Amino acid sequence: MKLELTDADAYLMVSESAYSADMYYATGFLAHDSFIYLNSKSEKILISDMELGRAKKESRIKDVLPTSGFGIMEKLRTLKDVDAAYNSMIAEFLRSENVKRIAVPYNFPVYLADILRGDGFDIIPVKSPFRTMREVKNENEIRSIEKAQRAGEKALAEAIGAIKKATVGNGVLWRDGVPLTSEDVRSIMDASLMSGGFEAPDIIVACGRGSVDPHWQGEGELHAGEPIVIDFVPRSKKERYYSDMTRTVVRGTPSDEIREMYSAVRDAQVAAISRIKAGITGSEIHGIVCDTLEARGYETARGKTGIFTEGFIHSTGHGVGLDIHEGPNLSESGKELKEGCVVTVEPGLYYKKKGGVRLEDVVVVTAGGCKNLTMFEKNLVLE
């Protein structure tokens, strides 16, 4: 993987890859312990001897080096400090590569940067080059996102099935003689995802007025006639790519205000998706959503300053991939969309006395339009 480094000899990352999307993207190797990635004349990783065999088999990097080759144990015995020994080993590794001016990501450890500077290296924090590269997905990445989406839709179908089957008593949804709760629905979805090798952190099942907070996870019993916002980010535990989807449903009879909000949000989403294609900007798509909602009489945060808590209060969407939120963005500052970008389209409306409504699909940007990876139905009222 060739990086354009205009003012450096190499690009260095020191991190685990289980929670660092850039490290996983660069190496294709999943590890919960830190290791070293260096991109100069070629790509290399430096990793503990314990992980050496697995890294050689699983990583896309061909040049995999053991930490024992740079005296990690000898340094540990001499320095009697794990961090000092590890940092000394990294410095020796860099000297062996004959690099001096080294670019590092913004989140590079400050202490390690200071140590390396003290050893004579120029450490230059830069915006991660991988963040931009990751915005455009290849066919394999898109297939991974689509797999996650299908697994998510299966889980959502099971969750909505439980809500449909619930009985109504005293304005509450009941299942097997006890109230059906947000936690119950979340557990149904978790079990479905886990059975197929998928997961979704922080599934939102938010009912009623609590749904006006877009990221409130939801808790307690579900109520008839009130909006239930279900928002989650399924991903494959193996392939690591996320999808993202939201549906708003009501078991029973929603208020006229919720029906009107749902109709406006759906129209805004349709209008946005119909205009997405390579070359248009994220800000233009966001503007289309705002135009549609404002024409229906709803406020948006477009052009507003300060705190804005009701109406359309967030951006239209974001890129999705190895991170839940990555570039490009569909917002007031959104830049040009390129073919192969995968973005969410998720307009929403939120009013404290009414509740929240949000719909979210994931689409792949193409030269002449976009492909919607989301196949799940959009029905507000569950019959």
CATH number of domain containing 363: 3.90.230.10
Say yes or no: 364 and 300 in one domain. Answer: yes
CA nearest neighbour of 320 among 148, 146, 135, 144: 135
Structural domain including 94 reads 10-133
The reply to whether 5 falls in a domain is no
Say yes or no: 293 and 310 in one domain. Answer: yes
Say yes or no: 102 and 155 in one domain. Answer: no
Contacts of 107 (CB under 8 A, 6+ apart): none
Contacts of 207 (CB under 8 A, 6+ apart): 182, 218, 220, 222, 223, 226, 227, 228, 229
- Burial annotation 278-289 (CB, 10 A radius, 16+ → b, else e): bebbbbbbbbbb
For CA atoms 76, 79, 84, 85, the dihedral sign is negative
The yes-or-no verdict on residue 173 having pLDDT over 90 is yes
Q: How far is CA 377 from the centre of its chain?
A: 22
Q: Would you state the pLDDT for residue 308?
A: 87
3-state secondary structure 118-164: HCCCEEEEECCHHHHHCCECCHHHHHHHHHHHHHHHHHHHHHHHHHH
The reply to whether 377 falls in a domain is no
The yes-or-no verdict on residue 305 having pLDDT over 90 is no
Q: pLDDT tens across 181-216, in order?
A: 999 999 999 999 999 999 999 999 999 999 999 999
Q: pLDDT tens across 249-282, in order?
A: 999 999 999 999 999 999 999 999 999 999 999 9
Contact (CB, 8 A) for 190 and 145: no
* Residue 372 in tokens: 């919607």
The yes-or-no verdict on residue 1 having pLDDT over 90 is no
Q: Over the Cα atoms of the chain, what is R_g?
A: 24
3-state secondary structure (DSSP) of residue 173: strand
Say yes or no: 126 and 155 in one domain. Answer: no
Q: Which amino acid does the sequence have at 249?
A: V
Say yes or no: 122 and 145 in one domain. Answer: no
CA nearest neighbour of 231 among 185, 171, 287: 185
The reply to whether 381 falls in a domain is no
The reply to whether 382 falls in a domain is no
The reply to whether 82 falls in a domain is yes
Say yes or no: 85 and 68 in one domain. Answer: yes
Say yes or no: 238 and 360 in one domain. Answer: yes
- Peptide bond connecting 227 to the previous residue in cis, omega within 30 degrees of 0: no
Say yes or no: 101 and 184 in one domain. Answer: no
Q: Would you state the pLDDT for residue 2?
A: 79
The reply to whether 47 falls in a domain is yes
The yes-or-no verdict on residue 17 having pLDDT over 90 is yes
For CA atoms 318, 269, 151, 163, the dihedral sign is positive
Contacts of 76 (CB under 8 A, 6+ apart): 82, 85
Say yes or no: 80 and 122 in one domain. Answer: yes
Say yes or no: 249 and 344 in one domain. Answer: yes
User: What pTM does this model have?
Assistant: 0.95
Q: Which of 133, 164, 185 is the last residue of a domain?
A: 133
Share of the chain above pLDDT 90, in %: 96
The arithmetic mean of pLDDT across residues 16-41, rounded, is: 97
The reply to whether 4 falls in a domain is no
Q: What is the CATH number of the domain that holds 83?
A: 3.40.350.10
Q: Would you state the pLDDT for residue 315?
A: 97
Q: Which of 116, 133, 150 is the last residue of a domain?
A: 133
Q: Would you state the pLDDT for residue 336?
A: 98
Q: Which of 133, 153, 168 is the last residue of a domain?
A: 133
To the nearest whole number, what is the mean pLDDT of the chain?
Answer: 96
Domain count of the fold of the chain: 2
Q: Which residue has the tokens 């003689």?
A: 177
- Residue 160: CB atoms within 10 A of its CB come to 22
Say yes or no: 218 and 280 in one domain. Answer: yes
The reply to whether 166 falls in a domain is yes
Strand partners, 178: 175
* Poorest-pLDDT segment among 74-83, 248-257, 270-279, 300-309: 300-309
CA distances from 38 to 41, 62, 123, 140, 202 (A): 9, 12, 13, 25, 34
* Residue 313 in tokens: 């209060």
Q: Would you state the pLDDT for residue 306?
A: 87
Q: pLDDT tens across 94-141, in order?
A: 999 999 999 999 999 999 999 999 999 999 999 999 999 999 999 999
Quote the Cα angle for 29-35-41, to 5°. 80
The yes-or-no verdict on residue 312 having pLDDT over 90 is yes
CA distances from 8 to 100, 197, 332 (A): 8, 41, 33
Say yes or no: 259 and 348 in one domain. Answer: yes
Q: Would you state the pLDDT for residue 6?
A: 77
